[in-house]
Amino acid sequence: MSQSQADAFVELVLGRSEVTVEVVAHVSEDGHAILDNGNPISEELAECLACDGAVTTVIDTPAGPIERDRQKAPSKQQRKFLQRRHPTCQFPGCHHAGKFDAHHVIERSKGGRTKLNNLCRLCWLHHRMVHLHKLILTLHRDRTITVTTADGVPIDRPIPFTEFTIDPPDDPNRIGGWSGQHMDLPYVVATVLGG
């Protein structure tokens, strides 16, 4: 590894660098999603990925692809505001102060906009749990949130980790997906560092 690659890796580890990753997910009308490499991902994971990132919706038609919608990711300024206002995750009882996602309280697919009055700060774990368990967040005027289940049961403490799951692939030799398979660290480091 060269010195410049080592320096870039340190910047990533210390959280001082931003990495942009393009994830292409093909979503059918019935909500099934697959990645470009053919690996399926759950509807909840597709929603979670779209929630914190930029989204371009393209519809495949007999006349060719049509770009229908383009939504920006939460800006650096919006993220800084959320971090200053809430130094820790806003999920009830969570005090995680590290990396976080800007969650759309009203989902984009339901008309939610990328505006501060629709964004809250969630740690990676609780952002996943909100999507996986289809929890309902209410953002109040004082920027506090309440969390309830779809049945209206209030949640006042952190919930344990749950994996996104998807049916196993037909071919067990298929490359790893988003469901917790082992990571090829040398490949990831080389890809991130442009090597």
Q: Identify the top-confidence range among 79-83, 141-145, 160-164.
A: 79-83
What is the greatest pairwise CA distance in the chain?
54
Return the percentage of the chain with pLDDT > 90, whole number.
18
Mean pLDDT of 44-56: 78
Sign of the Cα pseudo-torsion (17, 99, 87, 118, in order)? positive
Mean pLDDT of 184-192: 69
Q: Characterize 125-140 residue by residue with b for buried, 16 or more Cβ atoms within 10 angstroms of its Cβ, and e for exposed.
A: bbbbbbbbeebebebe
Least confident of 40-49, 74-83, 185-194: 185-194
Element of type H or E holding 137: strand 136-139
- Per-residue pLDDT for 118 more than 80? yes
Band (125; pLDDT cuts 50, 70, 90): confident
Site of tokens 């809250």: 120
Q: What is the mean pLDDT of the chain?
A: 77
Mean pLDDT of 85-107: 89
Higher pLDDT, 104 or 11: 104
Q: What is the CA radius of gyration of the chain?
A: 18
